[in-house]
Structure 1
């Protein structure tokens, strides 16, 4: 056999051997090495200016810097966050649609609050990263005579069937209903499409109190738009050092600490999920993120896809218990 023929056969054999491997890689949905090559859509479950919007825009901006492509925030408020979640669940699984979300409100509690939702919190998504956790805050309007949970409870009892609270998110509803149940109150619920609408309702005396995420409340309180009465976490938070917990305010069993995570549609190639997860981990562990999140009463809580997968499963069960305790009927 000549040297030329031997080299030809070696090259042919190598090419044939590599062919099935290359085909297999594409069959498994391998991510292109240059991902991303265009804009990434970052879905936000709530409206512009909300606490969720602030967090989503922070992470989207930092992700854009790492990915080298614009990350465009797409606000899709409505149905207590379910509209954006449904869009995320049915988006093309190519890594160009992500959802940075308060997962307790949009994933863990939704199946327990609504008779029909067009997504499955576990089957519809690939977990990407765990980000942070933060409390909710019970608030009243800034010129209210109420300055504590005890005073709010007394006011609501005095008003009887005329007492009301406002809400536009699942977690806000659960927080208010748990308080109502624990305090033995009769309160009417007023639903709003967005937090901005609820704020206008609060200032217009359409209801007596609300409960919203600490990120949004911190900004509103700083500008004297709302008055915080208590936080829902088991300990006080940096952004509200003088604001007691619900436990300190007479409800020792009250402890709700919502959390944030990132998901993409099921079927997104694993290399893309891993790439995104690494970027989000880098962002969350940065001093930049710690400073930003601390300002808004939020604690960094980094974790990878497996951490988030386990969290979603456990929180589905936990929020089922919370909602049952609060005796919230499905809508």
Structure 2
């Protein structure tokens, strides 16, 4: 913080006549959110703190994890960069839990306190596990006799539910509560230590994703079912495989495609040909992959439910086939038994995704919230 303040006051002397009316978007790139939001907000710049092997984007500033001397250089560079950007820009949006100055030590308290003392605007946009409370969501799970994402996440990511990590999430929530002008966070799916009302998360789907592909339904002699989990255990992949196996044993003929750890471009190419997409089955929002599936005219099966996650846009439950984890076999079987329903379900999802998350629509939503 000493470095950050020295940098700020020195840079302010030189940048006082060169203020920029734009946003500083800070993140570790996740699901292309940093790229999309920095493109959506006018005159914004992007600061990325870690590379993502699934994407090949360029950012205005990159502060990547290093070792040895380079790590020391980054530890110095990061707060100096913070001070410089603070001297030029008045609006900051933080995606996830990252920060310029010791984000995991105090929940970004010192960083946000200094930022707000300079009369800057602050938006916190949470993305998932960095804010999702294991204690709160597991309590929800017990109260509703329902397996949720945190039920299995501690198995796939050992130590993620440790008490010190839960404390860090509490710090993040309390700091955002205290300093942020706006907080984006789905209130149930990412249940957190945030007391204020939060805004629903907004996703950005490029126009070229919405290329009509209804022609693939002209020939359903081989129905293609796609599942592309980023983390198989918490996405319900074992249950998906069990349902697929049972259907094949029963004589159903279809092509099952499972993609794990593949580049984003390959995933999008496979979606263009798929008829049915099995997404995730312990979450209450469709996620970026679910939205991309609908944009590519796929009939989506997922556990997302607007009756549980009330921040979802109106009509969500008609856009996909609401599929809790115990109904994967039944709902997939129903579509295979009634192939004429696949096209109509895919079309409903396409229209809903386009109305709510096509790039221009999402940009308007985001600007309306942050400008207010």
TM normalised by structure 2 equals 0.34
Q: Which has the higher contact order (CA 8 A, sep 6+)?
A: 1
Larger strand proportion of the pair: 1
TM normalised by structure 1 equals 0.37
